Structure 1
């Protein structure tokens, strides 16, 4: 069904009264905003996962190369104040796989996945999450979910402000090197907010991390969501309350900000989780959560008007998620149920929600109209 976007309108109205603006000015502002807003569709999930114990935050998708229908969703449960968080593992029916779920992680925030890290001479897929209370990265092999981090990799060493939150993995197409790009709860405003680590075998079959780069501007609220487009070589992150920022992902690249989008009054409050839907021809979508409004905004992956750094909005979608932080998406065909892949998003009711991509994707008419 279709409904009008009214949350922002209500916010404008309440702020107008609070600031004692003239009624006529209030009315004109509200009417102008309503004219700009298009009808936004709302969809319901195909699958809702079983409940976690405390507080869902961020999902990642592992594609089973031998049988995509046996792929997994790995999701963080931040846990309580005593640090009893977890990495929950679900099948595509949303059932918790208890034998793979990792408990007693001290405040895991975000999680991401990389394929083919060389450990003990074997290509190993890994799930990597931040563990905030120990200032570490935790790393587990897939699909077994066995620890391969020797108890954790300490990050942001020497910093007063540490508290890791966001994480995203970059695989260099030329060398196959795998890097973790991590953000934190708070940090400096001197362009070194994100730290990038090369992940490799420590000689004993565990993963070690070597700091190779510091980059990224920060406005001062929080940076949690990070997403990397390895094929194109870009990293995106949500500088909350400001917009989505874009840099090169390679550690030897310049630290110049390439783009800022999703800024202005598009987001109701915080721009949050980011995921990237990828077509083989380089096109696709950058999907960003409008957390307070329960909306997801879709931007052009390839850019617009011949400019690879002009990421135009092509669709906004109401989902059934509540206060969604993290999301992930895949374009890999998953049997007859998800022939174009699926989208999964965290919901603030201790679940993750899975959506058939065909239900959420922008239509060609929408894309053409925005280019």
Structure 2
């Protein structure tokens, strides 16, 4: 089933004075990944934090490396496992490209209750599934693939269309109750969002069914009766990537890279999506330059209509759970190396921004995916934020190669800087 929503009315946003972001620091980052033949074409993108239910120090961080597959790290950012992006288990399967990852907790797989890493595979337009060894960082092989064979494409009618690569992109897990688990998936180069029911099978594999789609707007009304269409290369729409679900309220938060942050009721189609915040240059009329392959403004002096919190691209997003129904939505403002924080309550009021500087390591730049947990994990007694960093720099990094990695940030620092509340009790996280 496919549903379409349009943005009902223009709400003028005027870009005012942009306050300086608060500063937090980190000295913990993962080994560098290189996106070239020698490095296995590994380009870091999106992390997920798996919290060990009893021994938090054995928690792990799982990250996507696109054509380089997956990496698993412990809480000291040491690599525990490297999994290649193997061909999908289907007759026409090709080597994968793993874009985003999230965790499904408490699935019955092969007669056991286990947690599963859910990964979007762009080159096969499908989901891939990996069980997580309950020993966590003590396991010899923390992840094991259990994807069922011959899964349907999420957005494409056939393999020929898959090869055009407008395929599965961002992913988040939605678990509305103890029986049902869904994946929410965005589409590269388009405004489509899909949900798919995750269905463990009796043979120990994991599949998905019941794929439904929702079309978000690709054009936007402006004051004065004008319409704005974000500039993209020909044939490409203003895509969404980052997605995260507030499991307590069944609300999806989704970043539309050149537009802003959306709040979308789940299941898809049960309520009107709402654009919470807009990127700074929302409404600026650009044109695509074929020679430079860049969008350039028609009028360089035209002011944007967006807010002060996000500079395109709006990228990674996740939810920090507080007491009751309180909490925070954290968004990567990739265009200016900041992170914006919003309340999960009411109209999702913006609470401030911060930047991550390195302490003995490089600063976090150009962040794509991020993940956060309110749980105690090892030495991170007030929660943990993990974020992508690109480009990775430093004395041990080859400046001639495309380098990425991930940084670990003590959530207590973020809370102190922005005056946020810390709530580490396990009962605050509905996933446990």
Q: TM class by shorter-chain length? A: 0.7 to 0.9
**Does 2:64 align with 1:76?**
yes
Q: Report matched runs for 1:217-232 at 5 Å.
A: 217-219=216-218, 220-232=237-249
Separation in 2 of the partners of 1:234 and 1:216?
A: 17
* Residue pairs, 1:170-189, within 5 angstroms: 170-173=174-177, 175-187=178-190
Look up the match of 1:301: 344
In 1, are the aligned partners of 2:352 and 2:418 still within 8 Å (CA)? no
**Aligned partner (choices 398, 403, 407) of residue 353 of structure 1:** 407
Distance in 2 (alpha carbons) for counterparts of 1:210 and 1:297: 35
The equivalent of 2:106 in structure 1 is 116
**Is 1:88 aligned to residue 87 of structure 2?**
no
Query: What is residue 14 of structure 1 aligned with on the other side?
Result: none
- In structure 1, C-alpha distance between the alignment counterparts of 2:209 and 2:416, rounded to whole Å: 40
Q: 1:90 to 1:364 in 2, by over 3 A?
A: closer
Residue 216 of structure 1 and its aligned partner are, at CA, apart by 4.1
Contact 1:216–1:255 (Cα < 8 Å) also in 2? no
What is the aligned counterpart of 1:37 among 6, 18, 21?
18
Query: Following TM superposition, by how much is the alpha carbon of 1:324 offset from its aligned partner in structure 2, in angstroms?
Result: 0.5
CA contact (8 A) 2:146 2:204 kept: yes
Distance across 2 between alignment mates of 1:242 and 1:138: 29
- Separation of aligned partners in 1, 2:325 and 2:150: 35
Q: State the distance in 2 between where 1:260 and 1:313 align.
A: 9
- Partner deviation per Cα, 1:340-361 (whole Å, 9 max, x = no partner): 1110100112210000011112
Return the offset for 1:256: 2.1
In 2, Cα distance between equivalents of 1:114 and 1:234: 17
Of 166, 171, 191, the residue aligned with 1:167 is 171
Structure showing the higher helix proportion among its residues:
1
Say what the alpha-carbon RMSD is for the aligned residues.
2.2
Mark the runs of 5 or more structure 2 residues left unpaired by the alignment.
1-13, 34-38, 87-95, 134-141, 219-236, 280-305, 357-362, 393-403, 422-432
Higher relative contact order (CA 8 A, sep 6+): 2
Q: Does 1:342 align with 2:384?
A: yes
Distance 1:156 1:234, change over 3 A: same
Q: Is the 8 A contact 2:85 2:98 kept in 1?
A: no
**In structure 2, C-alpha distance between the alignment counterparts of 1:365 and 1:129, rounded to whole Å:** 34
Cα contact 1:136–1:152 (8 A) shared by 2: no
Q: Following the alignment from structure 2 to structure 1, what is the Cα–Cα distance between the partners of residues 353 and 176?
A: 31
Matches within 5 A, 1:234-253: 234-250=251-267
Paired residues of 2:110 and 2:201 also in contact (CA < 8 A): no
Residue 152 of structure 1: how far off its partner (Å): 6.9
Deviating above 6 A after TM superposition, structure 1's stretches of 4 or more consecutive aligned residues are none
- Matched-pair contact (CA < 8 Å) for 2:242–2:315: yes
Tell me the alpha carbon deviations over residues 83-109 of structure 1, each in whole angstroms, 9 at most, x when there is no partner: xx21100000000003xx211342111
Residue in 2 aligned with 1:50? 31
Q: Distance in 1 between matches of 2:420 and 2:129?
A: 40
